[in-house]
């Protein structure tokens, strides 16, 4: 039986890697989960292997990988050839296929207003991802409300620049916080 995402997260700060130059920093950080927000068909397999060899769980953000389509064949290819631990996507139709391929799934949603919040709840209930990443992550009240309305673990991300912002999101109920700033990847959480 595959572990749940809550069992994999040891450091509550997730290394959101937006540039290949930050892979080495992620490897030596306290983060044990990496979100790959960079790469292409030729480089991503090496990035995944490098991070996994450093004992990190790797989630590929499919929407940011150059050259990959958003269909069933692409998900099958990602699972069999690149072998990440999971995927991140804003496209709820990819969640089911990824789960069928044994990948963990993170649904990324942008909470811009009440309508987006309500649609996000509906998407979570329909596709049942392993976790949901909410952006922007600077919304403790909204994070709290989301955790109260669904049993799906919440990861806060986006626009987080300070340690106290990470702590506020965690206090509001987030499982973890994805941040792009390497200086926050080792703050002991």
Instruction: Measure the CA–CA gap between 49 and 177, rounded to whole angstroms.
Output: 23
Tell me the CATH architecture of domain 5-184: Alpha-Beta Barrel (3.20)
Q: What is the pLDDT of residue 2?
A: 54
pTM of the model: 0.92
The string of pLDDT tens digits covering residues 10-60 is 999 999 999 999 999 999 999 999 999 999 999 999 999 999 999 999 999
150 CB-side CA count, 13 A: 24
Q: What is the pLDDT of residue 5?
A: 85
């Amino acid at each position: 039986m595959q572990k749940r995402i809550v069992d994999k997260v040891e450091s509550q700060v997730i290394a959101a890697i937006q540039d290949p130059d930050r892979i080495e920093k992620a490897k030596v950080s306290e983060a044990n989960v990496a979100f790959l927000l960079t790469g292409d068909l030729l480089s991503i397999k090496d990035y995944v292997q490098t991070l996994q060899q450093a004992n990190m769980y790797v989630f590929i953000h499919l929407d940011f990988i150059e050259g990959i389509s958003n269909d069933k064949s692409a998900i099958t290819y990602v699972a069999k050839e690149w072998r990440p631990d999971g995927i991140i996507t804003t496209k709820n139709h990819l969640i089911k296929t990824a789960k069928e391929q044994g990948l963990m799934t993170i649904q990324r949603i942008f909470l811009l207003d009440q309508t987006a919040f309500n649609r996000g709840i509906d998407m979570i209930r329909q596709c049942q991802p392993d976790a949901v990443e909410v952006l922007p992550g600077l919304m403790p009240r909204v994070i709290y409300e989301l955790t109260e309305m669904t049993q799906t673990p919440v990861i806060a991300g986006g626009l987080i620049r300070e340690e106290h912002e990470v702590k506020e999101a965690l206090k509001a109920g987030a499982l973890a916080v994805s941040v792009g700033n390497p200086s926050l990847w080792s703050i002991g959480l």
